[in-house]
Structure 1
Amino acid sequence: MCQHQPACPTADSADREAARLTAHHPEQGWSLLCNGVLLFEDTGELLPDGQIIAPHRPLAAGRVTTAA
């Protein structure tokens, strides 16, 4: 699929989200990457083979909990 040089990560690689955008529809909450991955705004993904990757939002940064 990808025609970029160097080629973007494949859909089955760990860094697949680093592929370039080919379509971006923020009003609908999704983007299509050049490796065929559908990336959703909740960080979920749909791979070209139909595999679903559950949302994986990072935990809130900078939160410090202290015991009272």
Structure 2
Amino acid sequence: MCQHQPPCPSADSADREAAHLVAHHPEQGWSLLCNGVLLFEDTGELLPDGQVVAPRRPPAAGRVTTAA
């Protein structure tokens, strides 16, 4: 899929998120990378083979919980 030189990381490599953007839709919360990975704003991913990578975003900082 990638036509860049040097080629972008493949969808199954650890650094797959370093691939070039093909489409970016921040209003919808997703981007398509040239290796076929759909990258979501919550850091979740959908790989070209249909595998889902769960979001890795840490819990919101500064969130305060109160006891009832």
Superposition TM-score, scaled by structure 1 size: 0.84
Identity %: 87
Paired residues for 1:50-61 under 5 Å: 50-58=50-58
Q: What is the alpha-carbon root mean square deviation over aligned residues?
A: 1.5
1:15 CA drift (Å): 0.2
1:37 CA drift (Å): 0.0
Runs of 4+ deviating beyond 2 Å: 58-61
1:32 CA drift (Å): 0.0
Q: Which residue of 2 aligns with 1:31?
A: 31
CA distance in structure 2 between the aligned counterparts of 1:7 and 1:14, rounded to whole angstroms? 15
Superposition TM-score, scaled by structure 2 size: 0.84
Unaligned runs of at least 5 residues, structure 2 = 62-68
Residue 30 of structure 1 aligns to which amino acid in structure 2? Answer: W
Secondary structure, counterpart of 2:17 in structure 1? helix
1:60 CA drift (Å): 7.4
The total of aligned residue pairs comes to 61
